[in-house]
Structure 1
Amino acid sequence: MQPAPPFALRHTAQLPELLHQLGVTIALSTYQAGKVILLSAPDEERIIQLPRSFPKPMGIAEDLETDRLAIACRDEVVVLANSGELAQFYPKGPGKYDALYLPRATYHTGDLDIHDLNFGDGGTSLYAVNTRFSCLVKLDDRYSFTPVWQPRFIDKLAGEDRCHLNGMAMRNGKPAYATAFSETNMPVGWRPNVTKTGVLLDVDSGETIVGGLGMPHSPRIYDGRLYVLQTAKGEVCEVDLASGAVTVVCKIGGFVRGMSKAGDYLFVGLSKLRKNSSTFGKLAFAKEADRAGIVVIHLPTGARVGELTYASSVDEIYDVHVLAGKRRVNVLNTLTDDHKAGLSAPTATYWRKLKA
């Protein structure tokens, strides 16, 4: 058999129709492949993808007010701004895209192992989960990071990944909830019992809302309800904030990580398990976790209604983010000179010719 071409994918028949009707583009980050991939449905029959290279991309954030994206990378966070006008006259495809994000600023953070990332405070702040130092931080142009919160069981700032703090849910422009793999205060102390010691933390009170979670990721608030992924159990769950009760919305049975909502649908990232991992090899679904892609869930019923799977190139996905109201999106990185030609001012845009 011939090997599959790079980034070959297959999907359920109804998925292009769903994406097209929702009028969205799905962005996913795969640090393993070093790509942010944009998935669009130009009509109800096709899904078109656009992979862009970024160094170890992780969390993806969007600020709706200013139409910006931020992407957490290996040792930096890149901020990009959308220009519909530049998209319309993009030299390599005039009229092809309805959104074009170009890099406008970079925070040189150093290697913080940033996981989740969010704009806050009306778009004036950029919050990040600093996994290396076990804290939530703000990013600016003065420091590598400014700590704003750390779990009550972490006694000092140290680059030791003590609890594998990874997820952050926002409410009213501020971090409201966080997930970690364990309540440990030792260097990499979360590893021994990683599949059963996860916690969901209340940022304001510092208290643990629920413990005993299986590698929690991607806490998100939708319509006033809190959802979280239990990666070690392959489950999408809802958490009752008053009682701490955990209800399974959908059991996917794979390594889930990264979640975003459009309309009544959740788009959940699915990763292959690392076959040589002593930790992941113990998971109940280890033998079945042989694909990477996106699972679509109808949230009101918990039913799986679609799936996209990669046959090559993509093994591990970190984040999934819905770009609402944008049917065909392009993103330019800083690895080529293309972004330098797109010039924008508050009242005008220009495409400059690049030298051959």
Structure 2
Amino acid sequence: MSQTQSNQLAHTQVVCTRAWENLQRDLGFSLVMGTRATGDLHLVSVKKDSGIHLHIQKFPLCMGIATWRNQLWVACANDVRQYTDILQHPGVNSIEFERCYVPRSLHFTGPLDAHEIAVDRHGQLLIVSSQYSAVVRLSNTHSAGVIWQPAFISALKPEDRCHLNGLCLQDGELKYVTLFARSDAPSGWRKLSFEQGEILDVSTGDAVCEGLVQPHSPRLYRGQLYVLNSGAGEFGLVDQKTGRFECIAYVAGYGRGLSFVGDYAIFGVSRPKTDAYIPGLKLHDRLRAMQAQDRCALIAVHLATGDVIEGIQFHGAVRELFDTHVIEDCRSVSMMDMDQAQNPGLVVIDPVRNRETSDA
């Protein structure tokens, strides 16, 4: 086992296993990972010789992450930030990194409580707003515009009625969402049983799977529907015809931010905000029975066998991971902050002439 401590994370020890390093190196990917409340965005790469490189950027909260073509988005507390890979441009090179994301826009949304995000086939960013119980898009005239809302939600109010949190695209269109419980009352899901989580088909409004425990991250991958049954500490798949959930792996942690590479699912497992035992929550009941503790870690699960690779563990101040995003065919990735991006040497001009503007 190799261990790496990062001085950039105050009061936190970061430990990476050799198995995780080998997985990244063999499959040739990098990873973007957010630590939610602490606001750290980690870009995880493999070094050329050996070891893992963590590039860390600070954000005001760090929630959903999405990529599309050469762009990357990060949802924060009150805004969404869009970055572009500057190394795509001819003449801009790096001897160390294969991709380097620089900030290009910041869209103020206000406190949507943005959770998962994704880019549809039109290049439009979709955002799950838990606060407004809706999937929304960015707007040039408003904080956001509604794309979809569950039929049982009677008003567009910031009341987190059902805790809508995850979304999934099919052929570039919004297909599935996850929620904790069907409720039309302010914070109504908090008063209901833990085992009322659902995956909804947005085209029909019907439940594809019911009885889940605080589910997150519905994903279609290789024709299968996967989901994190977070409150039970499980990762599994759903039969889209019968609605049956099949557990692939018990991961002994609260999962969020599901992504895939090759034959593996990758996501983070988190500790609760406090060390308090939550009675009735399947995950905590099982951990207590096993006399085990939950943890904050990045893990990988083999889709066929359910074998779990312990990846990167966080000990200390970092307690929660929210999202992960795989960058395939890229072994090294970096990101610039807003100050670094203002370097005059980073100015790149699009040579394609805009006829409409030039002819005016």
Task: Please say if 1:224 is aligned against 2:227.
Answer: no
Going from structure 1 to structure 2, the CA distance change for 1:277 and 1:237 (only over 3 Å counts) comes to same
Offset of 1:144 from its aligned partner? 0.7
Which amino acid is 2:56 matched to? P
TM superposition score normalised by structure 1: 0.89
Task: Please say if 1:163 is aligned against 2:167.
Answer: no
Q: Which residue of 1 aligns with 2:358?
A: none
Which amino acid is 1:284 matched to? D
**Structure 1, unaligned runs of 5 or more:** 349-356
Task: Please say if 1:79 is aligned against 2:82.
Answer: yes
Going from structure 1 to structure 2, the CA distance change for 1:340 and 1:187 (only over 3 Å counts) comes to same
Which amino acid is 1:267 matched to? I
Q: Which residue of 1 aligns with 2:72?
A: 69
Going from structure 1 to structure 2, the CA distance change for 1:8 and 1:43 (only over 3 Å counts) comes to farther
Offset of 1:194 from its aligned partner? 5.1
Task: Please say if 1:320 is aligned against 2:318.
Answer: no
Q: 1:49-128 to 2 correspondence within 5 Å?
A: 49-64=54-69, 67-84=70-87, 94-123=94-123, 125-128=124-127
Aligned residues: 338
| SS of 2:255 mapped into structure 1 | strand
Which amino acid is 2:176 matched to? Y
Work out the CA distance in 2 between the residues paired with 1:278 and 1:289. 10
Offset of 1:289 from its aligned partner? 4.0
- 2:218–2:228 CA contact under 8 A, matched in 1: yes
Task: Please say if 1:19 is aligned against 2:24.
Answer: yes
Identity of aligned residues (%): 30
Work out the CA distance in 2 between the residues paired with 1:308 and 1:87. 35
- 1:87–1:99 CA contact under 8 A, matched in 2: no
Offset of 1:343 from its aligned partner? 1.8
Going from structure 1 to structure 2, the CA distance change for 1:16 and 1:206 (only over 3 Å counts) comes to same
Which piece of structure 1 moves more, 43-52 or 172-181? Answer: 43-52
Deviations 1:88-111 (A, max 9, x none): 867xxx512111111111111000
TM superposition score normalised by structure 2: 0.88
Work out the CA distance in 2 between the residues paired with 1:44 and 1:96. 12
- 2:41–2:56 CA contact under 8 A, matched in 1: yes
Q: 1:248-267 to 2 correspondence within 5 Å?
A: 248-267=247-266
- 1:267–1:320 CA contact under 8 A, matched in 2: yes
| SS of 2:115 mapped into structure 1 | strand
**Structure 2, unaligned runs of 5 or more:** 353-360
The equivalent position to 2:51 in structure 1, one of 43, 46, 52, is 46
Which amino acid is 1:100 matched to? C
- 1:23–1:325 CA contact under 8 A, matched in 2: yes
Which amino acid is 1:17 matched to? N
Going from structure 1 to structure 2, the CA distance change for 1:300 and 1:307 (only over 3 Å counts) comes to same
| C-alpha RMSD of matched pairs (Å) | 2.2
Q: Which residue of 2 aligns with 1:351?
A: none
Q: 1:24-43 to 2 correspondence within 5 Å?
A: 24-43=29-48
Offset of 1:211 from its aligned partner? 1.5
Deviations 1:308-336 (A, max 9, x none): 211234210000110111111111233xx
Q: 1:308-347 to 2 correspondence within 5 Å?
A: 308-334=312-338, 337-341=339-343, 342-347=346-351
Offset of 1:237 from its aligned partner? 1.3
Higher helix share: 2
Which piece of structure 1 moves more, 79-88 or 15-24? Answer: 79-88
Going from structure 1 to structure 2, the CA distance change for 1:86 and 1:121 (only over 3 Å counts) comes to closer
Work out the CA distance in 2 between the residues paired with 1:286 and 1:211. 23
Going from structure 1 to structure 2, the CA distance change for 1:285 and 1:87 (only over 3 Å counts) comes to farther
Q: Which residue of 1 aligns with 2:207?
A: 208
Q: Which residue of 2 aligns with 1:145?
A: 144
Deviations 1:7-55 (A, max 9, x none): 4322322221210121111111112211110111124731110110111
Work out the CA distance in 2 between the residues paired with 1:62 and 1:201. 24
Which amino acid is 1:262 matched to? V
Going from structure 1 to structure 2, the CA distance change for 1:213 and 1:301 (only over 3 Å counts) comes to same
| SS of 1:191 mapped into structure 2 | helix
- 1:17–1:45 CA contact under 8 A, matched in 2: no
Q: Which residue of 1 aligns with 2:285?
A: 284
Going from structure 1 to structure 2, the CA distance change for 1:325 and 1:247 (only over 3 Å counts) comes to same
Which amino acid is 1:26 matched to? L
| SS of 2:341 mapped into structure 1 | helix
Work out the CA distance in 2 between the residues paired with 1:58 and 1:226. 22
Going from structure 1 to structure 2, the CA distance change for 1:4 and 1:328 (only over 3 Å counts) comes to closer
Going from structure 1 to structure 2, the CA distance change for 1:102 and 1:285 (only over 3 Å counts) comes to farther
Going from structure 1 to structure 2, the CA distance change for 1:75 and 1:277 (only over 3 Å counts) comes to farther
Q: Which residue of 1 aligns with 2:355?
A: none
Deviations 1:255-277 (A, max 9, x none): 11111101111112011123355
- 1:55–1:74 CA contact under 8 A, matched in 2: yes
